[in-house]
A and B are shown apart, each in its own frame.
Chain A
Amino acid sequence: MCVAEPDNDDHLALCGVSRLRGAGVMEAHVDRLAGMSRIGWSVLCCAKYGATNRVVGTKWPVQSGIGSKEEREPDVPGAIVAEGLTKRFGDVLAVAGLDLTVPEGTVLGLLGPNGAGKTTAVSILTTLIEPDSGTALVAGADVVREPQKVRERIGLSGQYAAVDDVLTGYENLEMIGRLYRFDRRRARQRADELLEQFELTDAAHRPVKTYSGGMRRRLDLAGALVAEPPVIFLDEPTTGLDPRSRLGLWEVVRDLVARGTTILLTTQYLEEADQLADEILVIDHGTAIASGTSDELKARVGGERLDLTLGNEAQLETAVMIMRAVATGDVEIEREQQRIVAPVDAGAASLMRVLRELDERGIELHDLSIRRPTLDDVFFALTGHTTAAAQSAGDGDGLPADRREVRTR
């Protein structure tokens, strides 16, 4: 910290550089200001640092990522810190040595296909199941040794709305409040507040089974917020929701973050992680395979994708050749769908080039498009297999893992 080293001007200057992007100006001024009161310097430095931190807010680069060391915020304890978590169900290693850190007031997006271990990881961190090994601290409490303390400090909202169908929305929230040991008055008051906040007041006294999917999910999230916990877990909060409900939920999440809540969010959608998460952790087969900010991940998987579907199977090899010529990375081939996906970086120019060559060789096109990378592409780029293949391997549904994937190059 700057204040810790007030009597070393060189160090101070370095400190300024490392904390402030574009601090070159300050560095240049160090010599000139050498005569200035050292304490004054420290104050200036730290005040400025504080301001930067506030402005950047929750978008401040987070730990455990690929982000450059200089940009990481030091000395802030993670609201969620997990090390070496493992959990086995019979023959399946659902979580295999997972490490993760979520600094206070930030959002970590846990991204992965079905069966990647996201829900198991959340279940461990929310004390629903005990890990076979590894440790985790959530809001300062150990999930294995102090589960009740953890439960007092977290909220959980999941894919399968954890609310009672037969009770009304109001009754559900009041019951949850009572189970947090609120007295009757406070439980009722909190239920009313949350129903209002989530626009459920009109439906407050209807049984939950009459609610739409979006309304249930909102109620479920409201249930997680009853005790205003500092840490919230959202397990695939928008899976199965219509686009409008999804946007509404995103708004709620942003609002929570603005109030300083720490959030761990699992999702199958890159876009959702992109929209909400400060840092994304990609997991597959229970372990982290990549982490970073959304931009960093996208940079890793390359730019846009050229997505080609053929009309004639016999021409697949030729088409693959053409695609490889423009690709900036591995080309993904799905033989059954006669589909070839290639990462490209020249945008429309790549599209034009492929189109021209396909035409010259008389290759029948069914579809050719250029698009932004999807989770499938991130996955393919990181693991060499698609999410569908990961799923079928994980679920053991009899589909061979290599049916959809052909690794090239």
Chain B
Amino acid sequence: MSFDSLTALVHDSAVIAKRNIIKIRRVPDVLVFVLISPIMFVLLFAYVFGGSIDIPGSNYREFLMAGIFVQTVVFGATFTGAGIADDMQKGIITRFRSLPMSRTAVLAGRTASDVVYNVLSLAIMMATGFIVGWRIRDGIGEALVACVLILIFAYALSWVMAYVALIVPSPEVINNASFIVIFPLTFVANTFVPSQNLPRLLQIFAEWNPVSAATQAARELFGNIPHETPQPEAWALQHPVLYTLVWSVIIVAVFAPLAVRRYRRQA
């Protein structure tokens, strides 16, 4: 065979991703949910919390928006888990296993095609945010970097959920199983409230939580942090872009091999 294993992986993942994207188009219910829930999140947080929480020297709604973006794509990783858990129940997996294709491609194709969901939900959220008064205050270039960073972080997390999907006994469990991971990560963070207001122990967790770093990075890049805001103390929040990227690499490096090994073993 003329394909080396990396070429094979990329080629086969592309074939699988294409299949998943055809399915997104053909089963629009999922897509509708993917697009409606971010709108709901933006509106809910902007109007329910937005009016009641006051951040000195800042517009809370604007502060909140990056947090909602990150939180929503983190939740979106559940779709990867659900998609894989669903596939594993279907006969098509037997076909994939019996083909001389890359063993990693079924998972890599899924995490790749789920980027489409995240791109769409991010675009929808930004549009909704714009309507309720959120603005990009620095350059468009920085904003794009923020979007790419959020997508990279989301991609890494979808490998975590891919692994979770392969260890849970049935697809029904996947939502609850993923919430156990996702809720603490997204709430013990600076997504909705500044981390300095938290109790000391939670504050430390929040400061070093990669979700906080991703949020902080997005806030900075969108220009949503007022100049008078003091510099964060934690190193992670002082270098949020780097810290987020390092975490994304570590997450993929750990969970992709775990998930692939699990997939190979499952009958």
- Residues of B near A175 (CB, < 8 A) are 15, 18-19
Contact B92 A163 (CB under 8 A): yes
Contact B22 A167 (CB under 8 A): yes
Contact B91 A158 (CB under 8 A): yes
- Residues of A near B93 (CB, < 8 A) are 162
Contact A161 B91 (CB under 8 A): yes
**A51 at the A/B interface (Cβ < 8 Å)?**
no
Contact with B91, one of A129, A149, A162, A176 (Cβ below 8 angstroms): A162
Contact A160 B19 (CB under 8 A): no
Stretch at the interface among A77-85, A177-185, A366-374: A177-185
Contact with B267, one of A129, A152, A156, A179 (Cβ below 8 angstroms): A129
Q: A163-B92, A166-B22 are in contact. Are A178 and B15 (CB under 8 A)?
A: yes
- Residues of A near B1 (CB, < 8 A) are 152, 181
**B90 at the A/B interface (Cβ < 8 Å)?**
yes
Q: Tell me what chain B mostly uses at the interface: helix, strand, loop, or mixed.
A: helix
Contact B98 A156 (CB under 8 A): yes
Alpha-carbon distance A181/B11, docked complex (angstroms): 8
A12 shortest CB reach to chain B, Å: 46
Alpha-carbon distance A154/B1, docked complex (angstroms): 16
Contact B95 A163 (CB under 8 A): yes
**A207 at the A/B interface (Cβ < 8 Å)?**
yes
Alpha-carbon distance A149/B27, docked complex (angstroms): 36
Contact A162 B92 (CB under 8 A): yes
**A287 at the A/B interface (Cβ < 8 Å)?**
no
**Which residues 293-330 in A have Cβ within 8 Å of B in the complex?**
none
Contact with B95, one of A123, A154, A162 (Cβ below 8 angstroms): A162
Q: A148-B100, A156-B98 are in contact. Are A123 and B267 (CB under 8 A)?
A: yes
**A127 at the A/B interface (Cβ < 8 Å)?**
yes
**A171 at the A/B interface (Cβ < 8 Å)?**
yes
**A405 at the A/B interface (Cβ < 8 Å)?**
no
Contact A163 B91 (CB under 8 A): yes
Chain B, residues 5-24, CB within 8 Å of chain A (1/0): the string is 00010011001001100110
Question: How many chain A residues have a CB neighbour from B under 8 Å?
Answer: 31
- Residues of B near A178 (CB, < 8 A) are 15
**Which residues 87-121 in B have Cβ within 8 Å of A in the complex?**
90-101
Alpha-carbon distance A92/B3, docked complex (angstroms): 40
B17 shortest CB reach to chain A, Å: 11
Contact with B94, one of A149, A160, A165 (Cβ below 8 angstroms): A160
**A27 at the A/B interface (Cβ < 8 Å)?**
no
Contact with A160, one of B12, B91, B267 (Cβ below 8 angstroms): B91
**B26 at the A/B interface (Cβ < 8 Å)?**
yes
- The closest CB in chain A to the CB of B93 belongs to A162
Contact A128 B19 (CB under 8 A): no
B266 shortest CB reach to chain A, Å: 9
**Which residues 119-174 in A have Cβ within 8 Å of B in the complex?**
123, 126-129, 148-149, 151-152, 154-156, 158, 160-167, 171
- Residues of B near A220 (CB, < 8 A) are 91
B131 shortest CB reach to chain A, Å: 34
- Residues of A near B99 (CB, < 8 A) are 151, 176, 179-180
- Residues of B near A148 (CB, < 8 A) are 100
- Residues of B near A181 (CB, < 8 A) are 1, 3, 8, 11, 100
Contact with B98, one of A128, A149, A161, A164 (Cβ below 8 angstroms): A128
Which A residues have a C-beta under 8 Å from some C-beta of B?
Answer: 123, 126-129, 148-149, 151-152, 154-156, 158, 160-167, 171, 175-176, 178-181, 207, 220, 223
Interface pairs A-B: 6 shortest CB-CB: A162-B95, A151-B100, A162-B91, A156-B98, A152-B100, A162-B94
User: 19 other contacts beyond A164-B19, A167-B23, with CB at 8 A cut-off?
Assistant: A127-B98, A128-B98, A148-B100, A151-B100, A152-B1, A152-B100, A156-B98, A160-B91, A162-B98, A164-B23, A164-B92, A166-B26, A167-B19, A179-B15, A179-B99, A181-B1, A181-B8, A220-B91, A223-B95
* Complex A-B: 16 CB contacts under 8 Å: A123-B267, A126-B98, A127-B97, A128-B98, A149-B100, A152-B100, A156-B95, A163-B91, A166-B26, A167-B23, A171-B19, A171-B22, A179-B100, A180-B100, A181-B1, A181-B11
